[in-house]
Structure 1
């Protein structure tokens, strides 16, 4: 059972600030997706408690050389900086930053690759707000928790980290793509998919499976300009739910976010909600496989 669910923010303005409903807990993940402006000098992602900053993530581009500073501000005094003298946030390119809260530290990753483990300098339970500012555009800010029954080893190893499909700007990783969803699809689960639709695309599928069938199948049919949602149980398909789409275009970037609520799957495309599919298979903890196939090249997937 999920501890809490908070809706993602799509295409928010910068500066961005939001309360974290119920505050931080061990096992919580915050994902920030966006694009660094081509002439960026710096941007920040901060976790606040009042006027204190428990975690300060600050990519900088002084003299054209990128590096990332991490720090804590307490009682109006900065602590000792922890720096990475390289940057996974190239100017003009998309990024996905994830902050995973563990008992000992924040595990910070970018585009699915570990960046830094930042030991807590003040209790993470005090944190109640996330703030993003600077020379960056945001496409998504999302919150979720790991399932309670995941092991401490999984959490310490950061197995909730996203999967990196290819370097930004390079689209060499082809589908089919399949991965395990640790803990299943619990309410509050957010699945994020970045990719590029093939110029001659006919079909793209995003599928959530369990060992007995398919709980949710979302097929984009480019020759008909419709999205078809369905499930597959007991050896047969259910009733199709079809809707027209205008947000998908061949040859263009694609961001799909699937948010699992208590009632169904809410699907967002490029920041706009396109449809909701009510749960037909209700044992959500058993839905533990994400499958992507069809005419798309993947950049980044957070299952």
Structure 2
């Protein structure tokens, strides 16, 4: 099986259609970040088999606002006709608000998470390996569409030496800065899709236990820890940082820092010796008050998938498909935040922003 590190699409014009390089495989995730227009009637995200008019659509995800408080329609378009739609009431997508939609490809279904919370599962009606295109349309603005391949499996390996709990940003010799991902042009505008008939509302889905990274995939590339790189252009609302790795088998703690010229905007510090994740900021050479609530989503010797989503007022932190924390910005100049650092008792295998 081939693995691709596809660059995200940034700020595409809507309607939009773009290629999914390498197609879909079990464990792959797609993250769509954007904003719903204030007077939206509906928008959709489609996973489809080709970009031509009339192509089969494996997943039609369609929030609608023709009744309060809004609902979500999902369906499949196959052999020129729609299947029976499913409806999810009490949509978490609110007109005028920003959102992050995470689509996780599972063996039997797509798992759909909104802003870190599980929304629903949609069972496959078309094999997911036939999907090669994503399209977005309707009353929505999109800031990024990012792709992440399945979390690799790691054999047992010794822990790395411990690092101080509150590190700065020492220079890392021999590791040049890594560029970000330039914007990619969109495909031509997609024509409208056939009208969908209405069906009675379906009962909501029960709470979902969350996504577990899929084992059995070879490592795509290695990163040396401590790891430090430049986030070209800095941060802005809608930008996401995706990280895959594994805590060492006898880990005490590791850290992920988002920094700027003279400080650390977000110090994210899982501590296995205290069974807590500490969040903090370092401003004017001093750390502030620690935040410690939210539990411990990491486990020694277990791979993890993590997304840090930058929003207007806070960072949203999602681990293994579940929102674990939000962290209000203490350094409001987001564009100045242009350094990513990872250190401690962790193996790092994938970084995308």
Question: Which TM bucket (shorter chain)?
Answer: 0.5 to 0.7
> TM-score scaled by structure 1?
0.57
Question: What CA distance in whole angstroms lies between the structure 1 residues aligned with 2:143 and 2:345?
Answer: 27
Question: What CA distance in whole angstroms lies between the structure 2 residues aligned with 1:273 and 1:11?
Answer: 20
What is residue 348 of structure 2 aligned with on the other side? Answer: 287
Structure with higher Rg: it is 2
Which is strand-richer, 1 or 2?
Answer: 1
What is residue 41 of structure 2 aligned with on the other side? Answer: 41
Whether the 8 Å contact between 1:106 and 1:119 is mirrored in structure 2 is yes
Superposed counterparts of 1:6-21, under 5 Å? 6-21=6-21
Superposed counterparts of 1:196-207, under 5 Å? none
Task: Out of 59-68 and 19-28, give the one that drifted further.
Answer: 59-68
Question: What CA distance in whole angstroms lies between the structure 2 residues aligned with 1:107 and 1:9?
Answer: 21
How far off its partner does 1:220 sit? Answer: 2.5
Structure 1: 5+ residue stretches without partners: 151-155, 161-182, 197-205, 228-250, 258-269, 291-301
How far off its partner does 1:212 sit? Answer: 8.6
CA deviation map 1:16-50 (0-9, x unaligned):
21100011111110111111100000000000103
* 1:256–1:105 Cα change, 3 Å: closer
Structure 2: 5+ residue stretches without partners: 155-208, 224-230, 266-310, 318-332
Whether the 8 Å contact between 1:59 and 1:89 is mirrored in structure 2 is yes
* 1:66–1:219 Cα change, 3 Å: same
Confirm whether residue 219 of structure 1 aligns to residue 223 of structure 2.
Answer: no
* 1:252–1:40 Cα change, 3 Å: closer
Q: Secondary structure of 1:46's partner? A: strand
Question: What CA distance in whole angstroms lies between the structure 2 residues aligned with 1:122 and 1:72?
Answer: 8
CA deviation map 1:266-296 (0-9, x unaligned):
xxxx99898687x998x997139x9xxxxxx
Whether the 8 Å contact between 2:48 and 2:133 is mirrored in structure 1 is yes
Question: What CA distance in whole angstroms lies between the structure 1 residues aligned with 2:69 and 2:342?
Answer: 51
Question: What CA distance in whole angstroms lies between the structure 2 residues aligned with 1:15 and 1:271?
Answer: 28
Question: What CA distance in whole angstroms lies between the structure 1 residues aligned with 2:264 and 2:153?
Answer: 38
> TM-score scaled by structure 2?
0.49
CA deviation map 1:91-142 (0-9, x unaligned):
1011111111111111111111111111100111000000011101111111
Whether the 8 Å contact between 1:2 and 1:186 is mirrored in structure 2 is no
User: Segments of 4+ in structure 1 off by > 3 A?
Assistant: 185-189, 193-196, 208-218, 224-227, 251-257, 270-277
Whether the 8 Å contact between 1:108 and 1:114 is mirrored in structure 2 is yes
CA deviation map 1:194-229 (0-9, x unaligned):
889xxxxxxxxx9x99759878644225xx6999xx
CA RMSD of aligned residues (A): 4.6
What is residue 139 of structure 2 aligned with on the other side? Answer: 135
Q: 2:101 aligns with which of 94, 97, 113?
A: 97
Question: What CA distance in whole angstroms lies between the structure 2 residues aligned with 1:82 and 1:36?
Answer: 22
Question: What CA distance in whole angstroms lies between the structure 1 residues aligned with 2:138 and 2:346?
Answer: 39
